[in-house]
Structure 1
Amino acid sequence: MSVLDWAWLIALLALVLGNLALFNWARKRIAGLERKDEALKTLHKAAQKQNDLLKRELAELRTGAMGVGKRVKELEQSISLLQARQDEVVQQDPEARLYSRAMKMVELGADVDEIMRECELPRAEAQLLVTLHQRGE
């Protein structure tokens, strides 16, 4: 065999070995990418399950919030009705009106004698109203 034949044979062998090395590298790279793909699919499934769970929980919270909102509205209506009834009772009870007037006088700074005179209350009750107002401040 001539030198030229040996050169071609060596070049061909180098080309085959290079292709084998490239093929081996590509195969390993593909295997690594396939593992990553499987891991990403697993993560995606887990994220999808978590997303579905959160959607269900959000729907439950919305339903609960709507129920609470409805209940709050009912309670507000009940409170308004009770406040109106209480105001009616206070308007009908002349004695309660005297105490309301006396409390307003105390808040405006009236003294015990003035409260007794204007509201026709005994001294002890007028003093009690003044004392309660002073403690509340």
Structure 2
Amino acid sequence: MMDWILPLALVAVGLTVLLSVLLWWSHRRFAQLERKCDALKLLQKAAQSTNDHLQREMAEIRTGALGVGRRVKELEQELELLSARQDEVKQNDPEARLYNRAMKMVELGADVEEIMRECELPRAEAQLLVTLHRRSQ
């Protein structure tokens, strides 16, 4: 009976050492994983903070863009109204119509005599229109 006690004791000691090493290794590995988990939690918290900040900025940008869009639309409507009024003033001003017609004739190559005759303009004004047109080219 004593013959098997020594080998059994050696196996028990070996198993105890092996279990102690495994326990030490498991504890060490658990500590490493716990540190990694803490680091990931910090990263997640920083990412969440950055995400919240970016969402607030996007909301501000969206609000600003809507305001700018409304203002652009108002300005476009105002420009259209002013353009329509300007066209109306041009149409109702007989002198402007004469000068517009005279400028069209100059652009089409009419001479001073023809402009004077068709638009009933004085020679000096007809010559001025022709001279201005030549300089602009």
Q: Distance in 2 between matches of 1:11 and 1:75?
A: 93
Q: Distance in 1 between matches of 2:128 and 2:71?
A: 41
Give the equivalent residue in structure 2 for 1:127.
130
For structure 2, the residue ranges without an aligned partner over 5 or more in a row are: none
* Partner SS state of residue 109, structure 2: coil
Q: CA deviation at 1:112?
A: 3.5
Q: CA RMSD in A?
A: 2.1
Residues 105 and 115 in structure 1, CA contact (< 8 A), matched pair in contact too = yes
Residues 46-75 of structure 1: CA deviation (Å, up to 9, x unaligned): 111111111111111111111101100110
Is 2:22 the partner of 1:22?
A: yes
Q: CA deviation at 1:94?
A: 1.7
Residues 74-116 of structure 1: CA deviation (Å, up to 9, x unaligned): 1001100100010011001122122322333344x41443444
Give the equivalent residue in structure 1 for 2:10.
10
Q: Distance in 2 between matches of 1:25 and 1:116?
A: 109
Residues 90 and 97 in structure 1, CA contact (< 8 A), matched pair in contact too = yes
Residues 102 and 119 in structure 1, CA contact (< 8 A), matched pair in contact too = yes
Give the equivalent residue in structure 2 for 1:86.
86
Q: Distance in 1 between matches of 2:72 and 2:92?
A: 30
For structure 1, the residue ranges without an aligned partner over 5 or more in a row are: none
Q: Distance in 2 between matches of 1:132 and 1:27?
A: 93
Q: Distance in 2 between matches of 1:56 and 1:98?
A: 60
Q: What is the identity, as a one-letter code, of the residue corresponding to 2:31?
A: A
TM-score, normalised by the number of residues in structure 1: 0.84
Q: CA deviation at 1:20?
A: 0.7
Identity of aligned residues (%): 54
Q: CA deviation at 1:119?
A: 3.3
Residues 2-26 of structure 1: CA deviation (Å, up to 9, x unaligned): 5533222221111111111111111
* Partner SS state of residue 35, structure 2: helix
Q: Distance in 2 between matches of 1:103 and 1:10?
A: 119
TM-score, normalised by the number of residues in structure 2: 0.84
